[in-house]
Amino acid sequence: MWQRILAILAARNREFYRDSAGLIWNLLMPVMMIMAFAFIFSGEPRALFKVGVIAPPTQATTSGFLATPHIDFIPVTDDNAAVVSAITKVQRHQLDLLLDMRDIPAYWVNPDSANGDLVERLLLGAYAQQDQANSDSSPQRRAAAGEALSYADWVLPGVLAMNVMFSSLWGVGWVVVRYRKNGVLRRLKATPLRPIEFLSAQVLSRLIVVLTTSILVYLGASLILDFPMRGSYTTLLLVYTAGALCMISLGLTVSARLRTEELADGLLNLLSWPMLLLSGVWFSMEGASPAAQTLSTLMPLTHLVDAARGIMIDGASVLDILPQLGLLLGLATLLLVVAARFFRWE
Amino acid sequence: MTSVSALLEARSLKKYYPGVQAVDGLSFEVQPGQCFGLLGPNGAGKTTTMEMLEGIQSPTDGEVLFRGRPLDLAFRQSIGIQFQATSLQDFQTVDESLRMFASLYACTADRDELIRLCNLSELLGRDTRKLSGGQRQRLLLAIALVNDPDLVFLDEPTTGLDPQARRNFWSLIKTVRTRGKTILLTTHYMEEAEQLCDEIAIVDQGRIIARGQPQTLVQEHFPAAIVRLQTTAWPDNEPLPNYAERRDTVIELYTDAVPPVLEYLERIGAGLTALRIDTPSLEDLFLKLTGHSLRT
């Protein structure tokens, strides 16, 4: 019995370590992930609280509330839109407190926020220390009530985008390589079919699949969760379509000439995993190192996630997400041209 | 010398891969309405040649002319190809495959007629992956004919088929020919070449080593019969006559007249129990010309 087990074991092991593409991926991926996490979070240790400050003093202060350690003081420009946006953030628990230093010192705090409560005490304590004699100089309190955004609500747009990415890359990239390997493309090469016709059909087919599944997932999620959708459905559909087109074109570019599925698999993994980690799908990149944040902006998935989140959570309009839309569609066009140019039937 | 009437012409075709000279200066013409065969063992360069003629591979040197002109998009509309080991897309039925390929062409043959011809009527709803060898070849042939082409390429069409299926396929090809189609096929079965082809070219190691009609080719190189017996049946110390040859365990005697040879054998006391008398075939021709056999 053992002889048989060992024989099959040996054959399977040989199969494994001789599959160089698979082997590299198995060894490399965990290393890459560790490196990625180290890289992402290689910045300064994160602050405990986030406080917005409207019209902060130009000189750095060494005493008073603004000198409190372990607080991230984020400047807010003195215009109506920025202030309103900041107040909304307090309502959503994205800012723990908003300090107004314009004429009369005032602050907004969310009565439902535990963090807000603590920062408020720090603020009042700091002011009390500064002006021990004058009890009238404490800043005015303004309530900005609102529910916290749950993690599920925050992560949903990213998860939909992630689904779009995987479905687009593998549904097209891997499939075309498999066709090439099996001889399907060679059979088609002998017909009057032209590469651009073939590729367009693949793009459209995958687009239909991706959008349909995304809609179904969205509907399914809306039955289970009660997540915000403050923007218009048309805009959301538009941005996911642009994202899908971009990812599909990326998949086509990868598969334009590859002949082995293992290599295609490896390359697609190499593209999708960094995007998965660095695009703000699972955690916000705001606390990441500047280098990681730069890398994040180079990835199309980041922009799709940003736009989708903006629409669902902040109610962004088409105009608001126009930059992301333009970038996704522009990249999609560029990649499609490249894919058509480099495409080989064999 | 160019023949103006030739449908397809290969001129000094060469194909080099790194380290391999797959096709080394091949030239021939296919006339309209003809069935032309490329006969040779595996690895002779037949499939590579076919691919260059089909326009799928570009030659390292030489050219291919269709109706006197280089291959263009119109060429693709006028040809049909039956692949050796083709892959059709998964999860498609026979009917769907036929329709898909028909949609790629400007002009198509009558579908019902084609289905009848290739005996596919009972298979229309079946998944293409669930066809037997013979059924799949019939479907692939139907697909090759879907655009009513003038020129049909058949690459080893009966490889892997049992003898009955093979014979059925041959009669199918003969019917196709009656519709005036020109056929170019490759094979390593000499019987197939003999049965189907008006003219053949014997290919070995990337070159044509003989060309002509199957029957006349053999007659040019051999007399009417070959008498074969085992070497063990040959009496010791008896020298071989000049019209005999020893091949491995067999002694072959070439002759136009069999009875005198039999008398001779009887006279020298050769064992006659495992004796064979054959008509020379392309197989023998190939062996004679190349020193190795058609069947590798």
pLDDT in single tens digits along all 346 residues of chain A: 899 999 999 999 988 888 776 777 778 878 888 887 887 777 666 778 888 888 877 777 677 788 888 888 888 888 888 888 888 888 888 889 998 888 778 899 999 888 899 999 988 888 887 765 555 667 888 888 887 788 888 899 999 999 999 999 999 988 899 899 888 898 888 888 988 899 989 999 999 999 999 999 999 999 988 888 989 999 999 999 999 999 999 999 999 988 888 788 888 888 898 899 889 999 888 767 788 888 899 999 999 999 999 999 888 889 989 999 999 999 999 999 999 889 999 8
Instruction: State the ipTM, two decimals.
Output: 0.77
Token output for B154: 């058949």
Q: Report long-range pairs for A153-156 (Cβ below 8 Å, ≥24 apart).
A: A153/A225, A153/A227, A153/A228, A153/A313, A154/A309, A154/A313, A155/A281, A155/A282, A156/A221, A156/A225, A156/A227, A156/A312
> Nearest CA of chain A to the CA of B105: how many Å?
7
* Chain B residues within 8 Å of chain A (Cβ atoms): 54-56, 73, 76-77, 79, 81, 83, 85-89, 101, 104-106
Q: Report CB contact under 8 Å: B56, A182.
A: no
pLDDT computed for residue B3 by the predictor: 52
Alpha helices, H only, chain A: 2-18, 20-40, 80-91, 114-130, 151-168, 175-182, 184-189, 195-224, 233-255, 261-278, 290-297, 300-314, 322-342
Contact A242, A306 (CB under 8 A): no
Q: Report CB contact under 8 Å: A191, B89.
A: no
Between CA A184 and CA A191 the distance in angstroms is 12
Q: Report CB contact under 8 Å: A191, B86.
A: no
Q: Which residues, including other chains, have CB under 8 Å from residue B182's CB and lie 6 or more apart?
A: B7, B8, B30, B31, B32, B33, B34, B35, B36, B150, B151, B152
pLDDT computed for residue A33 by the predictor: 80
Q: Sort out which chain A residues have CB atoms less than 8 A from B81's CB and list them.
A: 187, 190
Contact A165, A244 (CB under 8 A): no
Q: Sort out which chain B residues have CB atoms less than 8 A from A261's CB and list them.
A: none
φ and ψ at B7, to 5 degrees? -75, -45
Cα nearest neighbour of B106 on chain A: A192
pLDDT computed for residue A206 by the predictor: 95
Q: Output A44 or B244, whichever has higher pLDDT.
A: B244
Q: Sort out which chain B residues have CB atoms less than 8 A from A182's CB and list them.
A: 87
Residue of A175, A184, A185, A187 for testing the chain B interface, max B β-carbons within 10 Å: A187
Q: Sort out which chain A residues have CB atoms less than 8 A from B108's CB and list them.
A: none
Cα nearest neighbour of B74 on chain A: A192
Angle at A195 between CA A172 and CA A341, to 5 degrees: 90
> Nearest CA of chain B to the CA of A188: how many Å?
9
Q: Sort out which chain A residues have CB atoms less than 8 A from B76's CB and list them.
A: 190-192
pLDDT computed for residue A204 by the predictor: 94
Q: Hey, what's the torsion of the CAs at B183, B188, B191, B195, to 10 degrees? A: 0
Average pLDDT over residues B86-106: 88
Nearest to A192 among B77, B85, B88 (CB): B77
DSSP string covering B94-132: HHHHHHHHHHTSSS---HHHHHHHTT-GGGTTSBGGG--
Contact B182, B145 (CB under 8 A): no
Query: Which uninterrupted H or E stretch holds A98?
Result: strand A97-100
Average pLDDT over residues B30-54: 90
> Nearest CA of chain A to the CA of B131: how many Å?
17
- SS3 at position A219: helix
Q: Report CB contact under 8 Å: B104, A192.
A: yes
Between CA A158 and CA A160 the distance in angstroms is 5
Cβ count near A290 (within 10 Å): 9
Q: Sort out which chain B residues have CB atoms less than 8 A from A188's CB and list them.
A: 104
Average pLDDT over residues B54-78: 90
Q: Report CB contact under 8 Å: A187, B86.
A: yes
Nearest to B85 among A183, A189, A346 (CB): A183
Between CA B62 and CA B116 the distance in angstroms is 40
Between CA A331 and CA A338 the distance in angstroms is 10
Cβ count near A224 (within 10 Å): 8
Query: Which uninterrupted H or E stretch holds B165?
Result: helix B163-178
pLDDT computed for residue B85 by the predictor: 53
pLDDT computed for residue B2 by the predictor: 52
Q: Report CB contact under 8 Å: B87, A182.
A: yes
Q: Report CB contact under 8 Å: B81, A190.
A: yes
Contact A54, A100 (CB under 8 A): yes
> Nearest CA of chain B to the CA of A198: how many Å?
11
Residue of B47, B48, B50, B56 for testing the chain A interface, max A β-carbons within 10 Å: B56
pLDDT of residue B4 exceeding 70: no
Q: Report CB contact under 8 Å: B83, A187.
A: yes
Edge-to-edge strand ranges of the sheet holding B250-255: B244-247, B250-255, B225-230, B276-278
Q: Report CB contact under 8 Å: B104, A191.
A: yes
Q: Report CB contact under 8 Å: B105, A192.
A: yes
> Nearest CA of chain A to the CA of B166: how many Å?
23
Average pLDDT over residues B96-120: 92
User: Tens digit of pLDDT for each residue in B119-169?
Assistant: 999 999 999 889 988 898 999 999 999 999 999 999 889 888 899 989 999
Token output for A46: 């994160």
User: Tens digit of pLDDT for each residue in A242-296?
Assistant: 999 999 999 999 999 888 887 888 888 888 988 998 899 998 887 677 888 888 9
Cα nearest neighbour of B73 on chain A: A192
Contact A137, A126 (CB under 8 A): no
Cα nearest neighbour of A175 on chain B: B89
pLDDT computed for residue A55 by the predictor: 80
Cβ count near B276 (within 10 Å): 11
> Nearest CA of chain B to the CA of A224: how many Å?
34
pLDDT computed for residue B49 by the predictor: 92
pLDDT computed for residue A273 by the predictor: 87
Q: What is the percent of chain B with per-residue pLDDT over 70, rounded to a whole number? A: 97
Nearest to B76 among A187, A190, A345 (CB): A190
pLDDT computed for residue A44 by the predictor: 64
Mean pLDDT of chain B: 88
Q: Is the pTM of this model over 0.80?
A: no
Confidence grade of residue B42 (pLDDT, cut at 50, 70, 90) = confident
